[in-house]
Structure 1
């Protein structure tokens, strides 16, 4: 089941396992934060996760909703890891992975029919060819090589039904770009939460959720702080990562 340098890691709070590879992709706290931040229908619904990587967000969301979840990933190696993780956790009845380019996905799976779209997109503008050559998998995951922020927001809007929710995790430095693009593609920003590495530090992560054709009313949620003054996880971060096992 495992290939090369892959390992089987625990998603502790959810009691799931996930296949990871340090040379290809390992999920970060950002994915966990987004999976907990987004508001999802509990009993039913159709959800899509764009730029899914090794399927971490669909796996995490499966514990919060009984709805169906489709993950989209362009890199074949990551797509394959996600498929095997879904099979290992016996979640094939609820989760589906599609190997493809997010820009083509609305044509493939349908327009304006989904309740929730999530995305942990590449954060950084296109990198140098030298860096891409060094590790193509990581470069594509981190840099806007295969898709831009605008692609992500446009496709999210195309997939969502009216009143559907889109949620993204990104860097605070792109906040104005995100807000501008969301409004231009009919996604009205409704909730924002800033994530801080420690109290007294600048925010380094941004969580944002919008509603397609929603009315203007933006809420700024309380800050999420990852580490305390002893460089240990705060109680809130422990709960996020370990659930009742803290």
Structure 2
């Protein structure tokens, strides 16, 4: 899959590919899916490619919305792209979804911020606070709809609290560790509305073995089959 990205703006990284790999077994064929904050569109497009999704991508930054639309067209994947702030959507604008996907901004407001507008929008949680995102998402999911996303592993306690408080039950989680001896840096979560299923904690994903990528990380990159192309609109 060819993915066009801005020369100087936000670019996807391995976190998105790991989230795609985590999400795929949890997605039914032909599901109706919403991607929140699509950026270049890579997460939703990969899942749509492999699961035949009816995909809607919402992206508030005009430049990135154009990339999402262009990447869908180039890769011959049908997708609707909305240049909107997800939090501004009103009930009735979109039909209910089976699931939502997101690699949301989760950097804390006190972290030193980039001056690049697209990086600023993609990285810092103040642009899409988790609490507000969950409240809004409940309006657009079907009664037992799922939310599949990733977040800063150090904020896992808050993630679980916010999910439970907003009526989402975490069903599946997996932690990502840069090395087997290092703390987790990322948590990947599948949560469902109106669910009472017990939590399943999958074995950790370890990114590096020695100086090279781990065999699992390599297999994920191979399955994604992405080719990034930097360009200017």
TM normalised by structure 2 equals 0.89
- The structure 1 residue matched to 2:83, chosen from 99, 102, 105, is 99
**C-alpha contact (below 8 Å) 1:197/1:225 kept by paired residues:** yes
Give the Cα separation in 1 of the matches to 2:193 and 2:224: 34
Output aligned runs, 1:1-246, within 5 Å: 16-38=1-23, 39-42=26-29, 44-91=30-77, 94-107=78-91, 109-110=93-94, 113-126=96-109, 131=113, 134-229=115-210, 231-243=211-223
Give the Cα separation in 2 of the matches to 1:32 and 1:171: 16
SS at match of 2:82: strand
Give the Cα separation in 2 of the matches to 1:223 and 1:35: 15
Give the Cα separation in 1 of the matches to 2:208 and 2:110: 30
Give the Cα separation in 2 of the matches to 1:182 and 1:88: 36
TM normalised by structure 1 equals 0.85
Give the Cα separation in 1 of the matches to 2:168 and 2:183: 27
**Cα shift at 1:30:** 1.3
Higher RCO (CA < 8 A, seq sep 6+): 2
Aligned to 1:11: none
Q: Which moved more, 1:101-110 or 1:22-31?
A: 101-110
**C-alpha contact (below 8 Å) 2:134/2:166 kept by paired residues:** yes
SS at match of 1:151: helix
1:49-103 Cα deviation digits (max 9, x unpaired): 1011111111111222112011110100111111111111121xx3111100111
Give the Cα separation in 1 of the matches to 2:193 and 2:50: 22
Aligned to 1:12: none
1:19-49 Cα deviation digits (max 9, x unpaired): 112411210111111122121111x221001
1:207-241 Cα deviation digits (max 9, x unpaired): 01111110041011011011102x21111101100
